Structure 1
Amino acid sequence: MTPTAPHTSALVTDTAAVRLTALHRVHGNVRALDGVDLIVPAGTFTAVTGPSGSGKSTLLSCAAGLDRPTSGSVRIDGTELTGLSERRLTLLRRERIGFVFQSFNLLPSLTAAQNVALPVRLAGRRVSRAEVREALARVGLEGRAGHRPSELSGGQQQRVAIARALIARPAVLFGDEPTGALDRVTSRQVMRMLRDLVDRDGRTIVMVTHDPDAAAYADRVVTLVDGRIASTAERTADGGRTACRAS
């Protein structure tokens, strides 16, 4: 008897770092997300923009597992989030998701190195000094490990926050207005560093921003309006943009 060939779909793996399908999020009478479909390939940089109230932060929160959608699917690195228990979702966030906020959220009494190591230690895992030094070196803070937040500039504090998000080697780094509290020069420095993390290290970044200069560093800019994707703009080889309007 000729062996039966394996079913093709069983062998296919999801290569997208983030996959959102028919995503809805309703808050009372407000439809914050209205059927969003979005695929973020691994090793790319996506910026999400749009006017205030367009659903940007809600999309980011649902995609990062910080909020549960009303309906639809969220997959991170091939894992479906929507059916996970709170415990499993917490574990996945610790191991596969990094998050950088507009406010740096550093503990003032801890050094830069201690702040970077804190999430891993709270998860009950050991982290070596070499790992912490490497994380700080990746964001250009090799000589600041012993400094407390009050001894660092705003840009340096955000770099510490990014190193803290990267220490667990997440599949995706999410940023919620990561340059919102920084001046223009410092914002550019942080954005160049994030761009370098994608180009040099193959990181996947999804960032919400209202700043067109910050969005310009991304491979793709997704614009939300009223909870729906209104348009996308892809970076071309010459550094320009090719735009596509959603139907």
Structure 2
Amino acid sequence: METDATAAVELRAVTKRYGSMVTALDAIDARFARATFTAVMGPSGSGKSTLLHCAAGLDRADGGEVTIDGTPLRGLSERALTRLRRSRVGFVFQAFNLIPALTAEQNVVLPLRFAGRRPEPGAVAAMLAEVGLTDRAGHRPSELSGGQQQRVAIARALVTRPAVLFADEPTGALDARSGAEVLRLLRAAVDRHRQTVVMVTHDPVAAAHADRVLFLADGRVVDDLTGPVGAEKIAVHTARLEEATR
């Protein structure tokens, strides 16, 4: 099977089932081009998080093919898959998932340590500066606000310069001001550093920061908006989709 060299991540006919009754992803085709920001939306249970987990190699698809940065995941051993995730994938979670005993700087260094890489001189400091936390490098998560913790998580996800950064409801636990700062950083990662970002969100305002909005329902892609799309148009699409799936 040929892969698309212009895609950071590609899914072809990807299926994921849980037990014999639940099909979370139903032969989904999706590609995420390099240096783009895609928001994934849909009703609860539509398959958004499952899509993210399969696309990131956190969960194995039952059928079809997932390719990250030109490498098909099918057939990779668990060790090889782990190495690929550590070097080519970044992940930002709603709950931050920082290590409480480590400082902000140590949390950012962690993916490099896991990948067996020595940080380049100044690289970690530069990442913390990028997210506006130079003066918080020595603080532990309990000493940081929620917005600051999520900015540390973004720095941690980007420090390896991954092929793709996946974000699962990254603003869900934040107030409006902190959420807007996180979205600004994700947008800047795409515009300044040619990063690829794929974000699951339920918030039309958050989705409006993306170049593209992919809508899921019942494990399938049912709509795909591209180009500058305002929050109001996204909200209308979301409401129609939720009404149709009731």
Taking structure 1 as the reference length, the TM-score comes to 0.89
Q: 1:224 aligns with which of 216, 219, 229?
A: 216
1:178 Cα deviation (Å)? Answer: 0.7
Match runs of 1:98-113 below 5 Å: 98-113=90-105
Equivalent position of 1:195 in the other structure: 187
**Conserved? CA contact 1:33–1:226, under 8 Å:** yes
Q: For the residues of structure 2 that align with 1:107 and 1:208, how far apart are their CA atoms?
A: 23
**Conserved? CA contact 1:120–1:168, under 8 Å:** yes
Equivalent position of 2:133 in the other structure: 141
Distance verdict in 2 for CA 1:47–1:13, change over 3 Å: closer
Name the aligned partner's letter for residue 131 of structure 1. Answer: A
Q: 1:162 aligns with which of 146, 154, 157?
A: 154
Cα deviation code 1:143-176 (max 9, x no counterpart): 2211111221111100001111111110000001
1:224 Cα deviation (Å)? Answer: 0.2
**Conserved? CA contact 1:209–1:215, under 8 Å:** yes
Equivalent position of 2:54 in the other structure: 62
Q: 2:15 aligns with which of 19, 24, 27?
A: 24
Q: Unaligned stretches of 5+ in structure 1?
A: 1-8
Q: 1:41 aligns with which of 33, 40, 45?
A: 33
Q: For the residues of structure 1 that align with 2:120 and 2:77, how far apart are their CA atoms?
A: 30
3-state SS of 1:179 partner = coil
Name the aligned partner's letter for residue 176 of structure 1. Answer: D
Q: Identity of paired residues, percent?
A: 62
3-state SS of 2:11 partner = strand
Equivalent position of 1:73 in the other structure: 65
**RMSD of the TM alignment (CA)?**
2.1
Q: For the residues of structure 2 that align with 1:180 and 1:62, how far apart are their CA atoms?
A: 21
Match runs of 1:94-133 below 5 Å: 94-128=86-120, 130-133=122-125
1:139 Cα deviation (Å)? Answer: 1.5
Q: Unaligned stretches of 5+ in structure 2?
A: 238-246
Q: For the residues of structure 2 that align with 1:21 and 1:13, how far apart are their CA atoms?
A: 11
Which ranges of 4 or more aligned residues in structure 1 deviate by more than 3 Å? Answer: 236-243
Higher helix share: 2
How many corresponding residue pairs? 234
Taking structure 2 as the reference length, the TM-score comes to 0.89
Name the aligned partner's letter for residue 152 of structure 1. Answer: L
Equivalent position of 1:83 in the other structure: 75
Name the aligned partner's letter for residue 153 of structure 1. Answer: S
1:138 Cα deviation (Å)? Answer: 1.7
Distance verdict in 2 for CA 1:240–1:102, change over 3 Å: closer
1:240 Cα deviation (Å)? Answer: 9.5
Q: For the residues of structure 1 that align with 2:49 and 2:203, how far apart are their CA atoms?
A: 14
Equivalent position of 2:241 in the other structure: none
Distance verdict in 2 for CA 1:24–1:75, change over 3 Å: same
Q: 2:169 aligns with which of 177, 200, 213?
A: 177
